[in-house]
Every structure is written in structure tokens, then in C-alpha cells.
Structure 1
């Protein structure tokens, strides 16, 4: 377990305290829950690509019908 010290303004403390009471949890659990939700949201948004239908179709076409590898590309791939 880790301890984290947070400094809140009076208005932030009142807001968080009120929201935690409405959620039926203590302030620490409320803040941890909110931080976890935001962390998951941020992490998943960086690992995901969102395409509209047109872009998805273009990507699918390219993946399903790749161009033939050139001699230069074949030589490059052999370097690894």
C-alpha cells in the first residue's frame, strides 16, 4: 500500500466530500475510484485506434491485398 497526501482547496474538499457522501463511500475510496476510472480511460485511449467506416474499409483493403514486396524491401527485411 502507498500513502498519497493531497492538498485540496476548501471548495474542492467540500465538493469531494459531498460527492463521496452521495456515493455512500468515504473520501479516500471516492478519490481512488475516480482516479482509477480516469487512469483506465487514459490508458485505453492510447492503446486504441478509432476509425470511421471509410478509413476502416481502406485499412481492411490494404491489409487484405498487400502490395508485392520489392527487392529493396526484401533486402531490408533480411538485415534483421
Structure 2
């Protein structure tokens, strides 16, 4: 892994077609970890707010390199189920 790769951190923001706040993850070294955390947090939020069912979610993944402005690198469309 090069020096530049070591300074990259990823975070994800989950958006739903509901009137709820955007929910984001912490900074992670891997994209998949950021996505997993953001989805887990939104599921927990929905469950705590009394929502149940299937929901369409967009997860926007951002990369932040040391000294740089974060930039969107990927959008993942997924369905989540809250029981």
C-alpha cells in the first residue's frame, strides 16, 4: 500500500425517501466498512422511530485524503428491511 493509500479515509451517508435526517458513518479505512456502518445506523434509527418494512436507500460514499476536501466516489442503491 502506497503512502497516498494510507491517508485515505472513507465515510458514507445514507439517504431515504422519508422525512428523516441523513445518517452518516464514522471515517473508515475501507469503503465496505463505511457502507455497513451507515446502513446499520439507519436501520437502528428507523426501528427506534417505529418504522417497519422495506425501504429504498441511497448510500453516498465519500473519500477524504489528508489535506483535501471530501469528494463523492460512489453511490450505492439498496433495499433495507426493518423488522
Q: TM-score, normalised by structure 1?
A: 0.29
Bigger share in strand: 2
Larger radius of gyration: 1
Which structure is higher in RCO with an 8 Å CA cutoff and minimum separation 6?
A: 2
Bigger share in helix: 1
